[in-house]
Amino acid sequence: MPRKKQSLTPATEPKPKESAAQLIKTVRRQTRTKYSAEDKIRIVLEGLRGDHPVAELCRREGVNANVYYVWLREFMEAGKSRLKGEATRGATSGEVVELRKQNEALRQSVADLHLEVRALKKSLF
């Protein structure tokens, strides 16, 4: 009995072959390392310290030298704007909790004083 020819759906259809360059680009894009802010700062500060050449530092950390210099420029710009007072520092969660407690205490004391003033006014009249 002859087999029926199966029709290929778009999901099972063979993809056209990518060129080697396209394949390399795709793999690099998908395996790109994401550095945290702390890692970037650590690397930039190591470079500023000057114990080792920047090229050696970049090789050791697996960072392109151009990327290092972009991070350095951003780091310096952020510091300059902070010193000028242009940037506001975000509060940490601990500071926010403490400020909320202070706010609540102040609201409570204002409410108590308001009640005292009302009671005194009523007693005078």
- The span from the CA of 125 to the CA of 114, in Å, is 17
pLDDT at 15 (0 to 100): 58
When pLDDT is cut at 50, 70 and 90, the band that residue 87 belongs to is: low
Give tens-digit pLDDT for 20-57.
Answer: 888 888 887 777 778 888 999 999 999 999 999 999 99
Is-contact 90 69, C-beta < 8 A?
no
Regarding pTM above 0.75, the answer is no
